[in-house]
A and B are shown apart, each in its own frame.
Chain A
Amino acid sequence: MSELIAFQEPDRAVIQRRPAIIAVLADLLPEGCLITEERELVPFDTDAFVSYRRMPLAVVLPETTAQVAAVLKYCNDNAIPVIPRGAGTSLSGGAIPQEDAVVIGVSKMNRILEVDFPNRAAIVQAGVTNISISQAVDADGFFYAPDPSSQLACTIGGNIGMNSGGAHCLKYGVTTNNLMGVKMVMFDGSIVEIGGKALDAAGYDLLGLICGSEGQLGIVTEATVRLIAKPEGARPVLFGFESSVAAGACVTDIIGSGIIPVAIEFMDKPAIEICEAFAQAGYPMDVEALLIVEVEGSDAEMDAMLERIIEIARKHGVKTIKESQSATEAALIWKGRKSAFGATGRIADYICMDGTVPLGQLSHVLEKTSEIISRYGLRVANVFHAGDGNMHPLILFDANDPEESLKAEMAGNDILKLCVDAGGCLTGEHGVGIEKRDLMRHQYTDADLAQQMRVRAAFDPKWILNPSKVFPLDGRNGSQPGNQSALDAGKTAA
């Protein structure tokens, strides 16, 4: 299959040294932490961006921060690329390896180290799954707010790498707003601790910089995260509309009226059909667009908020309103929404876009998206976080048809450019990865990118950490290995 996205040319010299590298890694790690057999490497050759695959040189699954440090130091000393990996659920190819790289997976570091209710914080290892934090504190009335759809599988380490969001970040913010501290291994194997249970660490906001850096600044092995008291109750309500435009306008009006629900999710007709067939969530089938609006609090509180929201929805000609009558019904409504990607995967191959647009542009972008899709002769299902303008068009295609695959990627690129042109950005919560790397110049000038790459080089002077991602492969001069100031920085640090 022809590939639209290029990878860095693998370093043949590194590949030739594979046996020697494996021997060293085996020395650095306890038994059962090193994978080198091709058959066992296959599960690591891609992530959830499955159109691209590369076999890594080896995979290591360390059990401690010290082991991560030893491997990273060795790789840096020997200029071997390193791909950090959580659960491999990245939708942007953030965890896809390359032939000359060692994958460092954090999946064995999966313990919750401390739960501190008086300070509303939990300290967890990077391989802990997102949902297990909320599960661990649920009985005590707390939760961890960011809730990506992949939360059953995805790790907190991966969440930090991509600054993951979820349906409920309209109220609670994304990972960066709920992350209080990290323990991180630097390129040279040194271990730093940033932040903690106190707010706003001293000095430059390194924590904010690290969150969303896609594993290019270091490997996070532990995180201190914010716990929040669970709301007394939560009630998702379905609003069906006769057009996507009406639904979009309703979202803008709800937000503009001064009510901030916890979540406002949008689904168009294809998405409703796919999700309903999968989850039997009771979604109305006779509407063109659906909003799931969730409010939370006490009953009185939810009633008051819903009364106002319903009034606004009526102004926009809402066709059906369905309030969940029980916890089971509420769970079903969310099950339908959260299984959107999985359910779509059962009927077709798809790629999921992640552009964010200003709220006022929602309707315009939806309209243009369907124009682009029909131009390529493809189908699309739209299911996304409308409250914060984070769109997720799922472009459906047949991966066995090379031409259609290419068209899907090209349509995706056009949609992302559309988002940027509408005043938005390429990615709201999935990360740039390899997927959007070559579109970065559409959003940023060379000076913007050069500044980011210089900062990157201050953390990873040889560019060994996840090197093929985020920044276009060309034009890295000045920040790539060979740049004297970056190399000097490396020496000073060592």
Chain B
Amino acid sequence: MSATDIQYPETEQEVARLVTEAKASNLSIEVRGGGTRLGLGRPSQSASALSVAKLSGITNYDPSELVMAARAGTPLAEIEAALAANNQMLTFEPMDHRPLLGATGEPTIGGVFAANVSGPRRISAGAARDNLLGVRFVNGSGEIVKSGGRVMKNVTGLDLVKLMAGSWGTLGVMSEVTFKVLPRPETAVTIVVSGLNDAEAAEAMAAALAMSVEVSGAAHLPESVIHKFAGGSLKCGPATVLRLEGLEPSVEVRSERLLAEMGRRGTASVLEGQASQDLWREIRDVAPFADGTMKPVWKVSVAPSAGHQLVAALRLKTGVDAFYDWQGGLVWLRMEADPEADLVRQYIKVLGGGHATLVRADAATRASVPVFEPQPKPLEALARRIKDQFDPAGLLNPGRMTAGM
């Protein structure tokens, strides 16, 4: 269950004081931002909670430097509005988990990085972690620590920045993040290739990514989910969608070339403007499975060519509903199997490795099934040693990622 006693520090020093006090009384803390992803991960085991929601505000933004710094609790909406006003964006396109998880509240920039949340542009622009340049955080001993900075290239010392990204608040309470921003593309279009099965789509996407056309999004939407996208307007069977972005004359040239190539594989058409934008937001936010239920939803990351093989293998065992992003390497899955975790994870291993995350499930399931892919023994031991070096008393989000850690 979520903790009921929530503290809202307004300064980094206050965060440090609260953690120090918690350490003195050996009380664990649930670390949270806007709380929109509390339903993701193992359920909290903490007595009290610390929210960075009031540690808010953009602290440094010079658009010509392509860098922004903000306190961890700054609402993502505020960040995106400030960037939009300067025709810039977060290039890694973070997913909004609220529709899928049925959550309310405001996602914060700290939460985005703590969960390393990326979207369709992951394949060309990197993950959230690739765009995080600097962090300030309070470790489990109440010490204020900084790593990285506000420049694009920085190899000064160990890159704790990467470690903080995706650590789900288990290594420290992030107080401020500095990240890369990029100009918004002048224009974006989506090439829709209709009629390909999953295997053909994987080939088509690989072919598109092998062309020098700079695809910035590559997804495949099988027939079973196609009606949930674009208000049901993508009618002609399964759709493989490829996004091109950039300067107008450039996108024009590239889309002609891509259309010519894809036209040989299926019926190719073009989606522009708002329709294109909406489609990628729906892909990003897993629209087909955002149905108001708590039916388990898996996010699987494998080699792009293995995604459809995984789904085909699972289909021999159970009912599966799936669609693909990241050139086929990101599989959003819904199954009717029970238990599902062992089955999907066993097949991932057979198909060359990767990992599965149980992104949505009720709390009881999340407490009993490993939400994140269990690590091989030596890596888990290493992760425990790292955790000990940040949070020796195990106060911060205990058990959130791994049971007993």
Question: Are A and B genuine complex partners?
Answer: yes
Interface residues of A (CB under 8 A from B): 116-121, 140-142, 162-163, 165, 169-170, 173-174, 176-177, 186, 190, 192-194, 196-209, 211-213, 229-232, 252-253, 255-256, 258-260, 297-298, 300-301, 303-305, 356-360, 385, 388-390, 423-432, 436, 440, 443-445, 447-452, 454-459, 470-471, 485, 489, 492-493
Chain A residues contacting B376 (CB-CB under 8 Å) are 192-193
Known interface pairs A359-B64, A423-B150, A425-B149; A232-B389 also in contact (CB < 8 Å): no
Nearest to A218 among chain B residues (CB) is B382
Q: What separation, in Å, do the CA atoms of A141 and B208 have in the docked complex?
A: 12
Whether A205 and B165, one on each chain, are in contact in the complex, defined by CB atoms closer than 8 angstroms, is yes
Whole-angstrom CA separation of A387 from B184 in the bound complex: 18
B166 contacts across to A, CB distance below 8 A: 200, 204-205
B330 pairs with A199, CB closer than 8 A: yes
Contact for B158 among A255, A427, A447, A452, CB less than 8 A:
A452
Q: What chain A residues lie within 8 Å of B129 (beta carbons)?
A: 200, 205, 208
**Is B250 interfacial (CB-CB < 8 Å)?**
yes
Of the candidates A120, A205, A360, the one whose C-beta lies within 8 Å of that of B209 is A120
B385 partner, pick from A198, A255, A444, A492, beta carbons under 8 A: A492
CA separation between A165 and B151, bound complex, in Å?
13
Contact A176–B153 (Cβ < 8 Å): no
Residue B72 interfacial (CB < 8 Å):
no
Given A176-B159, A229-B211, A493-B381, A425 and B249 contact (CB-CB distance below 8 Å): no
CA of A117 to CA of B305, assembled, Å? 10
The 5 closest A-B pairs by CB, nearest first: A208-B162, A256-B64, A258-B183, A198-B354, A197-B303
Query: Is residue B24 within 8 Å, beta carbon to beta carbon, of the partner chain?
Result: no
How many Å from the CB of B289 to the closest CB on chain A? 20
Total interface residues on B, using CB and 8 Å? 94
Min CB gap A162→B, angstroms: 6
Chain B residues positioned under 8 Å from A390 (CB to CB): 151-153
Partner-binding segment picked from B95-103, B139-147, B316-324: B139-147
Contacts of A116 in B (CB 8 A): 303
Give CA–CA (A203, B372) in the complex, Å. 7
How far apart are the CA atoms of A300 and B149 in the complex, in Å? 37
Q: Which residues of B contact A (CB under 8 A)?
A: 62-67, 87-88, 116, 118, 122-123, 126-127, 129-130, 139, 143-147, 149-163, 165-167, 171, 182-184, 186, 202-203, 206, 209-214, 246-250, 252-254, 301-306, 326, 329-330, 352-355, 357, 372-373, 375-376, 378-383, 385-386, 388-390, 392, 401-402
A205–B372 Cα gap in the complex (Å)? 13
| Distance in Å: Cβ of A397 to nearest Cβ of chain B | 24
Q: How far is the CB of B345 from chain A (nearest CB, A)?
A: 10
Q: How far is the CB of A150 from chain B (nearest CB, A)?
A: 15
A424 CB contacts on chain B under 8 angstroms: 149, 151
Distance (Å) between the CB of B405 and the closest chain A CB? 10
| Contact sample, A vs B, 26 pairs, CB 8 Å cutoff | A120-B210, A141-B212, A163-B155, A177-B130, A200-B301, A202-B355, A204-B386, A205-B167, A206-B379, A206-B383, A260-B183, A298-B254, A300-B250, A300-B253, A303-B249, A356-B152, A389-B153, A428-B154, A445-B146, A448-B157, A449-B157, A452-B157, A452-B158, A454-B390, A457-B389, A492-B381
Q: How far is the CB of B262 from chain A (nearest CB, A)?
A: 15
Taken together as a complex, chains A and B put the C-alpha atoms of A177 and B252 apart, in Å, by: 28
Contacts of B126 in A (CB 8 A): 173, 177
Kindly report which residue of chain B lies nearest to residue A217, judged by CB atoms: B158
B380 CB contacts on chain A under 8 angstroms = 203
B389 touches A455 (CB 8 A): yes
What residues of chain B lie closer than 8 Å to A165, measured between beta carbons?
A: 153
Tell me which residues across on chain A come within 8 A of B373, comparing CB atoms: 202-203
Beyond A196-B354, A358-B67, A427-B154, 17 additional pairs, beta carbon < 8 A? A186-B378, A197-B304, A199-B326, A200-B118, A204-B171, A208-B129, A212-B159, A229-B212, A252-B64, A304-B248, A304-B249, A360-B62, A388-B153, A444-B157, A452-B147, A452-B160, A485-B388
| Cβ contact within 8 Å between B250 and A454 | no
A258-B87, A443-B156 known; A358-B378 Cβ under 8 A: no
Q: Give min CB distance, A93 to chain B, whole Å.
A: 14
| CB nearest neighbor in B for A440 | B157
Nearest-Cβ distance from residue B128 to partner chain A, whole angstroms: 9
Smallest CB gap from A186: residue in B: B378
Q: Is A301 in contact with B159, judged by CB distance below 8 angstroms?
A: no
Name the residue among B213, B250, B302 with the largest chain A CB count within 10 angstroms.
Answer: B250
Q: A119-B304, A452-B147 are in contact. Are A260 and B158 (CB under 8 A)?
A: no
Would B159 and A163 count as touching, CB distance under 8 A?
Answer: yes
When C-beta atoms are compared, the residue in chain A nearest to B144 turns out to be: A447
Assembled-state Cα–Cα distance A186/B252 (Å): 50
